[in-house]
Amino acid sequence: MKKLILNLLTISLAAAALNFSLAQEINIEKPGLFAQKPIPVALDGFSGEAAEVLKFDLFVQGFSFVSPDAAQYLIHGSDAGGVTGSVTDKFAHKMILSRSYNGASLRRQAHAFADDIVKATTSLKAIGQTKIAFKSQAPGGNGEIYVADFDGFGAQPVTSDATIVARPAWVPGRMALYYTSYARSNPDIFYHSLSSGQRRVIAGYSGLNTSAAVSPDGAKVAMILSKSGSPNVWICNADGSNLKRLTTGLEDSSPCWSPDGSWICFATKKAERRRLAKISAGGGEVQYLNTTGAANPTEPDWSPDGKWIAFTRMAGDFDICVMPADGSMAPVVLVAGQNPSWSPNSRTLVFNHGSNGHQTLSVLDVFTKQYKDCRRATGSNSQPAWAR
């Protein structure tokens, strides 16, 4: 009997060890939320600029390029005299997209085709024809605000102030920006219409006026002002009127809005530690966010779908992190970099990375961690903001 019990115990332990081993293998092989496999596609018939645009746009939205045998979707077309393309779902054995493009540059046509591919194969919003704003600083210069296509091409200067500029922010749905400039020998916040060229100061108080963030409906602006001592979060109407102080802490920075306009997330300092916090846009008690595992968080940005907050972790170097806005999961470190800004699809981020004053803009697909560098404007490029 003792021998039988011993044998059964040995078998049970062996089975448990085997199950533990299998569980470990399954856990290792199972992809995490931020380590998803990209959608495999095969690209054929395109060359030069058109092929370059398609590969960039699709790669940073979660696609990978493989042989036809390994692909889920077959993308075929031509860029001779204009972009013509089709997409076939190999598993469903049917063509899901066929279209020709004209009336624009070859580059713009390729972006449009990439957008249609994304719409036909996923539920994502297309980003191929969106814009970013950023600061570009030539060696030895102060920098200017630029606007470009999201991949960095077609960069055009917005300012010519020949002084320090910082923190561009888009007005949702409009070709207009807020940014900080020392054009009047003080860090003031300007509103700048890109269509008319009109610009005006909306915050020019004594001390610091910076980090403008526009509400989703464009009616309000959150910002950092030091007019009452320490830098705090303030809010005003889009024209600068009806100014109201929201916070009274130490060293507040980088406000951003929830997509429903009810909350403002920002970085602050509590007990000598950097924290992320949020406050009602109407004022009230500050609520601190749990960023355990990501010390010294700053530069938050709330995704347009409301699900995620991206931010910069300052831990020796700078890292891009993402966490659920509801705090249901610990932050995840994605890549080295800083100043993350969400695209309209709530999946892709633009950020800057580099060292020694030579920053490069990159576009990151959050869920596969695939990223590509944008085309450089001049010098060091940083502080990107994605138009939504």
**pLDDT in the model for residue 376:** 86
Torsion of CA 45, 48, 54, 60, to 10 degrees: 140
**pLDDT in the model for residue 84:** 98
**pLDDT in the model for residue 139:** 83
Q: What are the DSSP E strand ranges found in 49-143?
A: 63-65, 73-78, 84-89, 94-100, 131-137
Query: Is 355's pLDDT higher than 90?
Result: no
Tokens 């406050």 -> residue: 279
Q: What are the DSSP E strand ranges found in 243-379?
A: 244-245, 250-257, 263-270, 273-280, 287-288, 297-302, 308-315, 317-324, 332-336, 338-342, 348-355, 358-365, 370-373
Mean pLDDT of the 169-190 span? 97
Asked if residue 223 lies in contact with residue 211, where contact means CB atoms within 8 angstroms, the answer is: yes
**pLDDT in the model for residue 141:** 85
Where does the pLDDT of residue 47 fall: very low under 50, low under 70, confident under 90, or very high at 90 and above?
very high
Query: Is 22's pLDDT higher than 70?
Result: no
- Between the alpha carbon of residue 346 and those of residues 189, 303, 321, 350, the distances in Å are 27, 5, 14, 11
**pLDDT in the model for residue 271:** 83
131-386 maps to which CATH number?
2.120.10.30
pTM of the model: 0.90
Please tell me the least confidently modeled range out of 36-40, 162-166, 268-272, 323-327: 268-272
Query: Is 351's pLDDT higher than 80?
Result: yes
Query: Is 272's pLDDT higher than 50?
Result: yes
**pLDDT in the model for residue 284:** 96
**pLDDT in the model for residue 30:** 38
Please tell me the least confidently modeled range out of 1-15, 114-128, 327-341, 369-383: 1-15
Angle (CA) 330-31-360 rounded to 5° is 70
Mean pLDDT of the 18-33 span? 40
DSSP 8-state assignment for residue 69? G
Query: Is 229's pLDDT higher than 60?
Result: yes
Query: Is 28's pLDDT higher than 80?
Result: no
Determine the 3-state secondary structure of 147 from DSSP. strand
**pLDDT in the model for residue 4:** 33
* Architecture of the structural domain at 39-121: 3-Layer(aba) Sandwich (3.40)
Q: Where are the domains of the chain?
A: 39-121, 131-386
Asked if residue 127 lies in contact with residue 61, where contact means CB atoms within 8 angstroms, the answer is: yes
Query: Is 12's pLDDT higher than 50?
Result: no
Average pLDDT score, the chain: 91
Asked if residue 144 lies in contact with residue 153, where contact means CB atoms within 8 angstroms, the answer is: no
pLDDT in tens, 275-312: 999 999 999 999 999 999 999 999 999 999 999 999 99
The residues with which 166 forms a beta bridge, in sequence order, are 180
Tokens 């062996």 -> residue: 14
Element (H, E) at 157: strand 156-157
Query: Is 21's pLDDT higher than 80?
Result: no
3-state secondary structure 170-235: ECCCCCEEEEEECCCCCCEEEEEECCCCCEEEEECCCCCEEEEEECCCCCEEEEEECCCCCCEEEE
Determine the 3-state secondary structure of 95 from DSSP. strand
**pLDDT in the model for residue 322:** 98
**pLDDT in the model for residue 258:** 98
